[in-house]
Amino acid sequence: MKKRLTLALATAAVVAVSCGPVLVTVRRLERANLSIPPASRLAVTDFQDPAARGMGPAIGNVLVSHLASQGFYQMVERDRIQAVMKEHALNLTGAVDPSTVRELGGLLGVDAIVTGEVLAYGVETTRRTEMVEKKEGTGRYEEVEKKNIFTGKKYKTKQEIMRTALVPEERTVKSGGVSVSFRMIDIASGQVVVSKTNSESYNKSFKENIPSDSEILSKLLDKVTGAFVSDISPHYVTVAKRLLSSKADPKNMGAAYARQGEWQRAIEIWQRGTAAAPNDAALWHNIGVGFEAQGRIEQAESTYSKALAIDPGNRVFIENIAQIRNAFRGSLPGAAQTMATAETGAGTAKTFDATPKIVKIEPTGEVYISIGGKAGVKLGDKLVVSGEKEIRNPDTGEVLGVDTFDKAELVVTKVMDNISLCKVIKTLNNNKMAVKDKVKPMK
């Protein structure tokens, strides 16, 4: 009986997934929140810290890290900035002098400079007694009926009657905040083009597992700097998308591939469906989601528009159009674009699968991969080779899904324009590599 119950539950779960909508996450590159003059090279100076907490350089470093992770700006090394400013006795404290800004920008070869001031940075710890609700026994018992979860049989037992009481409890309270004023200065004009103050606060009480001040401040600073980066730079957002069921894909094979990240295969399945059902809005919606996941923004918007034209009142389709219009339509510099492609499928408008792959395996075990110096690959970069296998129904041969697994770890030993040579540094689970295996950055 237990086996029959388990099988029934498992079957019900599979049916629920295959028949209903499927949720997937899509990583989309959105444009900067603010409109600013064109800039590609950026320098971040130490922030001023009037309270002498020593946080000026640290905040500059965190901001550089956030900007570099988005890959839009070419960042100037912080050590070089400090050396140039010291050598030429330059500073950006107080009122901004346009001539000083232009001089520093020219020396560094940048289009804009970001600086600012630490307004608040700290956490206070206090202790207090709070009255909290707690269940406690009364010393009185009552007879209750219960059911055995294994046999299903009912039985009676005595159980203590509980009551809710307010009891004193010692609590540790952490409260504080981070507030930073940011300024972005255009080198060509010497003018401040962005002036923004971002603040985050914190106030929580704890009985145990109390976080340290540095842990709290680090998280607050990440939020503060991350918000400013979103203001001045294209930035990635992760959004949930619903794949809709269609009679043209009754077994939801497109969704099965999509859930494994195999968006190109999923798109091809849905496109074949539109040949038989050109007015199926769900198929066009799903194709749009696939294009968006690949970073093919123009195609995504066009396909979403087809779905909306078929079903004009559908709120999901209306939201698709509204969201995709916030997407960044440009391109990232080479290295960042390649990493986006390798990890998410974003950053390319080509119709084929642009994910880096193994193109040749030498008898020595060394491998050539399909990206090189033009895409930002450097000597010493570490990569992971991944393979995949189809999971088929043993009775029908139907593809139920795709399983991905890591095969090996590589290090780049030679870089050419469009390809790179790599050495295997670790084989994983005795898996053998093959031509067309995918390559991604090691996390």
Which comes out higher in pLDDT, residue 390 or 441? 441
Q: How many CA atoms lie within 13 A of 317 on its CB side?
A: 22
Give me the residue label for tokens 């980066």: 229
Distance CA 322, CA 47 (A): 37
Residues 418-436, mean pLDDT to the nearest whole number: 88
pLDDT 10s digits, 299-321: 999 999 999 999 999 999 999 99
Instruction: Identify each DSSP E strand in 52-111 by its residue range.
Output: 74-75
Residue 267's pLDDT is 95
Residues 256-279, mean pLDDT to the nearest whole number: 93
Out of 33-37, 181-185, 243-247, 325-329, pick the least confident: 325-329
Could you tell me the pLDDT band of residue 284, with boundaries at 50, 70 and 90? Answer: very high
Out of 98-102, 103-107, 195-199, 221-225, pick the least confident: 98-102
Q: Is the pLDDT assigned to residue 351 strictly greater than 60?
A: no
Domains in the chain (CATH in brackets) are 30-119+177-237 (3.40.50.10610), 125-171 (no CATH), 243-324 (1.25.40.10), 334-441 (2.40.10.410)
Distance CA 156, CA 441 (A): 60
Q: Is the pLDDT assigned to residue 341 strictly greater than 60?
A: no
Residues 329-339, mean pLDDT to the nearest whole number: 46
Give which of 236, 126, 234 is closest to 170, Cα–Cα. Answer: 126
Residues 372-399, mean pLDDT to the nearest whole number: 78
With 0.75 as the threshold, say if the pTM is over it: no
Q: Are 206 and 58 in contact (CB under 8 A)?
A: no
Residue 262's pLDDT is 92
Q: Is the pLDDT assigned to residue 6 strictly greater than 60?
A: no
One-character DSSP codes across 381-426: -EEEEEEEEEEE-TTT--EEEEEEEEEEEEEEEEE-SS-EEEEEEE
Q: Is the pLDDT assigned to residue 10 strictly greater than 60?
A: no
Give which of 198, 263, 228, 235 is closest to 326, Cα–Cα. Answer: 235
Residue 333's pLDDT is 45
The proportion of the chain whose per-residue pLDDT surpasses 90, expressed as a percent, equals 38
Residues 255-267, mean pLDDT to the nearest whole number: 92
pLDDT 10s digits, 121-175: 999 999 988 888 888 888 899 998 888 888 888 888 999 999 998 988 898 999 9
Q: Where are the alpha helices (DSSP H) in 120-166?
A: none
Out of 59-63, 148-152, 346-350, pick the least confident: 346-350
The proportion of the chain whose per-residue pLDDT surpasses 70, expressed as a percent, equals 86
Residue 399's pLDDT is 64
Could you tell me the pLDDT band of residue 50, with boundaries at 50, 70 and 90? Answer: confident
Residue 352's pLDDT is 32
Residues 22-32, mean pLDDT to the nearest whole number: 89
Residue 147's pLDDT is 86
Q: Is the pLDDT assigned to residue 334 strictly greater than 60?
A: no
